[in-house]
Structure 1
Amino acid sequence: MDCYFRQKWLDRRLAFDTFGNRNDLPISSKMLNDIWTPDTYIRNGRHSYLHTLTVPNVLFRVRHDGQIHVSQRLTIRSRCKMFFKKFPMDCQACPIEIGSLGYFSKDIVYVWKDVELDSKMSNMLAQYQLLHVIKTSHNWTDPHDNKLNISVLKVYFKLQRQQGFYILQIYTPCTLIVVVSWVSFWINKESSPARVSLGIMTVLSVSTLGFSYRSDLPKVSHSTALDIYIMLGSVSEILFSSCFGFVFAAVIEYAIINYVNRTNIRKKVSKIRISSKPLMPPRQRTSLHCKKMTPDSKLQSNRNLFTPKQEHSMFHRIAAEASEKVKIKNPTNVVSRIDSAAKIAFPSLYILFNVIYWLAFLYWIPDEINTLI
């Protein structure tokens, strides 16, 4: 953060009589080394520095009653504890703590005067919108001596993350992938390659989309709001569902109807008798009439009438006849009743999921920073 850090204190030793219309005097910043100044520092700062181009950016004035005004242009980089459970609908509160390095509250007390914000500051933040500023003051107990207190000023900058990027780059593509996965419900159940390929493509697309945005986030152990929407944060969230859950369920739905369809055909095969069409080659039938056989030898010969290849061909022929009869007896079986139910259930559940999701994370679930400020 780039700011003008202004301090005022009273030192009677620097008081002087007014002359003319001058109530204060501008003095070179080099004179600060010759007077007493508070040892103010940023308690949670990581890397802060004073601007020195082209000269040290310091304003030093002394009023006739001894009040000293020092203004410095600083760039402050401080630590900010962030919460990502509601990401990207999260709010963050980044504090700056100001205090004395060597003086206690009996020696020096810090008091806020005002915090002025640049009107263009909100437009300078690409991902955040500055909501407001919260000022607080504390007297903290010295951890090394319980009888001594430290005067500390604290200011919170409450920031709201902008969701436009995530809606365009993640939420909208994820929703479109889920809608594409529903196309498989309108594809004939006999077209296994088409339905399986579509299911695998949508699952891989959602997985890639879910892992791609993670590279911009710190490695957190808990799930975020975006995790719940795209992938799955935990076992309990599988029941709550997500984009990945809906896409994966579409693949499982086809596996179920494929299993049910094949089970029905096998049941029909077991009930259908072998038709009157000759299943044996004519050459083998002729050889049976030319040879005299006993009852025992006849039974043994009938077992050797079909080779394994012929038996395999016969089974597929019977299965095909059973399948055709199933279609003729029940024309609605071409479009499975499971598919018909999925065409209604999946869109309805997905709309309900979105309604609950957006209401929960925008209005119902409180911000985690409320425990801080």
Structure 2
Amino acid sequence: MQVLPLCLYVSLCFYLLFRMSLTLTCYMNLSKFPFDQQDCGMKIMSYAHRTDEIMLHWLTGENEPVEIEPKVSLPQYAVTGSTVADGVEQYIPGNFSYLTVDFHLERLLGFYLLEAFIPSSGLVVVAWLSLWLDPVASPARVTLAITTLLALITQSNLLKSGLPKVAYITAIDIWLTMCQLLVYVLLIEYGLVYWLHTTGGMASSKCCKDRNSDKDMFMDKARFPASRKMTSFDRAESQTTLTNLSTKYTYTEGMTERTPESAMFQTQYGSRREKKISVTETSAYIGYGKRVDRICKVTFLGFFGIFAIIYWRTYYF
């Protein structure tokens, strides 16, 4: 049988002292996690004695009714204070007196800064460095972006594994999701840049291939009949003939006199302007790709910086 210390005063008030260990459940709203502040309450009520038999009140005076030991600390929270109240609740058997105390908890950010925010920010910056690589180096750029994306997804899953499964979005979900979206945008941006470079290279190769094909066709028709098969000696001779034909231009004032062979040469190869246009179109595709890279180098990191400022001002400051 446990003996409890009981003191009875002249005013018919008694002082009861005993120690009790409790395991309580606190319902939390994690929408601002890990910047959340929680209020965990405890309610004390008489079970069998109505208000006409017993009334519960917090002790008032110089000392606080609830004292928190300064040496007691929680791993993830800091106890910032407490609020006490009392009252009466009405039930079918009668009215019962109760006491309540709410403990104010503030989550500590040290763990999440080291395990979530700083590593994810570093991964985004590493992904941004892929913009400085040459677009031709596709293995390096794609590998760097995909590696950072997988690291962000793994980090997000590890953090969520220690949290209760909630149906709403938390603050850390917004941060990690935005970091992943930025890396996705980098992959899409590189796909566009690579397509522009590939299109420009294919246009350049096609232009050179067409010019070489037309050159061989002209040599065959200009030098040798269709029924005769060319030999290696004939090809060397046709090259000399082509050189002579390309130099058979005589210029007068404002007019150009061309031999029939030179006219045929110009018909087969096209004008200088057409060749220049094909080269210009080829360089334009590659120029567009480099321009997209230059724009993304500034806007990507700038957008991430603006997002970080708005995020921290909204949830922390």
TM-score > 0.5, shorter chain as reference? yes
Aligned equivalents of 1:179, 1:279: Cα separation in 2 = 53
Find the residue that maps to 1:132 and give its secondary structure: strand
Q: 1:98 aligns with which of 36, 44, 47?
A: 44
In structure 2, relative to structure 1, the CA distance for the partners of 1:271 and 1:290 (3 Å cut) is: closer
1:115 to 2:66 alignment: yes
User: What residue is the counterpart of 1:360 in the other structure?
Assistant: 314
Residue 151 of structure 1: SS of its match in structure 2? Answer: strand
**1:186 & 1:326 partners in 2: Cα distance?**
25
**Structure 1 residue 120: Cα displacement:** 1.7
Q: Partner of 2:241 in structure 1?
A: none
In the TM superposition, 1:62-81 aligns within 5 A as 62-63=8-9, 67-81=13-27
Instruction: Report the alpha carbon displacement of residue 139 of structure 1 after superposing the two structures with TM.
Output: 1.6
- C-alpha spacing 1:222/1:331, structure 2 compared with 1 (3 Å): closer
SS of corresponding position for 1:275: helix
Show the counterpart of 2:228: 290
Shift of 1:336: 0.6
1:131 aligns with 2:80: yes
The alignment partner of 1:131 has SS state of strand
Which structure 1 residue ranges, 5 or more long, are not aligned? 1-27, 31-57, 232-241, 292-320, 364-373
Q: Which residue of 2 aligns with 1:247?
A: 183
Do 2:28 and 2:38's aligned partners in 1 also have CA atoms closer than 8 Å? yes
Identity, % of aligned positions: 28
- Cα displacement (A) at 1:223: 1.2
Measured in 2, the distance between the counterparts of 1:128 and 1:181 equals: 34
| Higher percent of residues as strand | 1
Residue-by-residue CA offset, 1:84-138 (whole Å, 9 max, x unaligned): 00000001111110001112223321101111221223xx212111111011112
| CA distance in 2 between partners of 1:164 and 1:197 (Å) | 31
Given the two structures, how large is their TM-score scaled by the length of structure 2? 0.73
Distance in 2, matches of 1:290 and 1:140, equals 115
Structure with higher helix content: 2
* Pairwise CA distance, 1:215: 1.4
Partner residue, 1:261: 197
Aligned counterpart for 1:347 among listed residues 301, 304, 317: 301
Partner of 1:300: none
Separation of aligned partners in 2, 1:279 and 1:100: 107
Name structure 2 gaps, 5 residues minimum.
Answer: 60-64, 230-274
Q: Which residue of 2 aligns with 1:11?
A: none
State whether residues 200 and 281 of structure 2, in contact with CA within 8 Å, keep that contact through their aligned partners in structure 1. Answer: no
Aligned pair in 2 of structure 1 residues 139, 95: CA closer, same or farther (>3 Å)? same
Q: Distance in 2 between matches of 1:226 and 1:193?
A: 32
- After superposition, where does 1:58-207 map in structure 2 within 5 Å? 58-63=4-9, 67-113=13-59, 114-121=65-72, 124-142=73-91, 144=92, 148-207=94-153
TM-aligned CA distance change 1:219 to 1:287, over 3 Å: farther
RCO comparison, higher one (Cα < 8 Å, 6+) = 2
Aligned-pair CA distance for 1:173? 0.4
- 2:255 aligns with none
Change (3 A) 1:344 1:261: same
> What is aligned with 1:211?
157
Contact 1:88–1:225, Cα closer than 8 Å, also in 2: yes
| CA RMSD in angstroms, aligned pairs only | 3.3
Q: How big is the shift at 1:258?
A: 1.6
CA pair 126-204 structure 1, distance change in 2 beyond 3 A: same
After TM superposition, the structure 1 stretch with the greater mean CA deviation from structure 2, 179-188 or 102-111, is 102-111
TM-score normalized by the length of structure 1: 0.63
Give CA deviations for 1:244-295 in whole Å, capped at 9, x if unaligned. 1111111111011122333444555676672246669x9xx9995437xxxx
Shift in Å, 1:153: 0.8
Aligned residues: 262
Instruction: State the one-letter code of the partner of 1:251.
Output: L
- Pair 1:80–1:331, CA change in 2 (3 A): closer
Residue type of the alignment partner of 1:164: G
What letter matches 2:69 in structure 1?
D
Which moved further from structure 2: 69-78 or 177-186? 69-78
Deviation, 1:64, is: 5.8
Change (3 A) 1:251 1:96: same
Q: Indicate yes or no: 2:293 matched with 1:336.
A: no
- The code of the aligned residue for 2:68 comes to L
